[in-house]
Amino acid sequence: MREWLSIYLKGICMGAADIVPGVSGGTIALIAGIYDRLIAAIAALDPRVLATIPGLTSAEGRTRFRERLVEMDVPFLLVLGAGIGTAVVLMAQVIEAAFEAYPAVLNGFFFGLIAASAVVIYRVTDVDTPGRIGALTAGAVIAFVVTGVAETDGQTSLVLLFVAGSIAISAMVLPGISGSAFLYIFGLYQYLLGVLGDFTDALLGLAGGGSVDAVVEPGIPVVVFLAGATVGLLTMARLVKRALERNRMATLGFLVGLMIGALRMPVEQAAAATEVWTPGLIAAVVAATLVGIVVVLGFDYYTDSLDYTEEAPA
């Protein structure tokens, strides 16, 4: 029981990091000493286990099913996921309120997080060939062009949510790379915060006699996003891992470029949300940016180095 509680608490720490653009839950997993187990468990997931479900009617079938889940370390993933989900739900409310009250300051904080993350990864990336330079440049241009393209006033494509979920979950399992940053690039970050808040409020409202329709409306985009994340965990996370194995430096250079190009988003959002820039507000934004930088550099210091950037032995 103590071990499961420890994993749950580590999941809470990962979830708190995952919901902030620029800080990776993978980094927290590295610090907490569960990163290798997390990656091994994800790699072991096999959808073919679902074929054994009809056999649950017998004691032997249930035993076989349970043993297969334990082999894939699914109990570990479920407990860790519960912790991550708890933190995401709680933090979403706080960040959504902060966006409403202090948009420029919060965007300054996100600017610092993303900029420092790009520096941290670039520091351990050898961008010294035309191909790697081209990958970094391509990432920067793509992110700059598509940043905010999906910004929404309350409606968005379910297909886009599905794709965003699959990409975000792939990034969340890598140290130093934030899945939330990709949602921020797509312009879906605030939308998903709001939808998640509405969904959890509606679920809590059911206990007081609330309407099921109030749950369904925000629940659809949440479920679609989670479905995309599930598919991404089984497919795209492995593709990212394969890309890192085949050409790590070019892949990381591309990711660094994405972060550089994404810096357009916090600047534009801070400018759009602020009519008058007073000296006090400017000082607060600068301070928030510096805090974001310190947070990422602090995580990087305690992880010593991002081991996953090292070239695999031939």
Question: What mean pLDDT, rounded, does the chain reach?
Answer: 82
pLDDT at 306 over 50: no
Does position 175 have pLDDT exceeding 80, yes or no? no
Between 312 and 196, the more confident residue is: 196
Query: Pseudo-torsion of CA 221, 107, 297, 11, nearest 10°?
Result: -30
Length of the chain, in residues:
314
CA–CA dist 77, 68 (Å, integer): 14
At 13 the pLDDT is 87
DSSP per-residue codes, 196-236: HHHHHHHHHHHTTT--SHHHHHHHHHHHHHHHHHHHHHHTH
Please return the burial class of 80, using the count of CB atoms within 10 Å of its CB with bins 0-12, 13-18 and 19+.
buried
* Residue 186, CB-side half-sphere exposure with 13 Å CA sphere: 22
Distance, CA of 89 to CA of 244 (rounded, Å): 31
Q: What angle do CA 82, 300, 96 make, to 5 degrees?
A: 50
Closest by CA position to 259, among listed 164, 174, 165, 185: 185
Cβ count within 10 A of residue 100: 11
Residue pair 139/294 in contact (Cβ under 8 Å)? The answer is: no
d(CA 90, CA 193): 11
pLDDT score at 308: 43
Give the per-residue pLDDT at 108: 93
The mean pLDDT value for 247-260 works out to: 84
Is there a contact between 103 and 96 (Cβ–Cβ < 8 Å)? no
Report field, pTM of the whole predicted structure over 0.85: no
Domain definitions of the chain by residue range: 93-309
Alpha-carbon span 289 to 263, nearest angstrom: 12
Report pLDDT digits (tens) over 133-159. 999 999 889 888 877 665 555 567 888
Tokens of 241: 């891992």
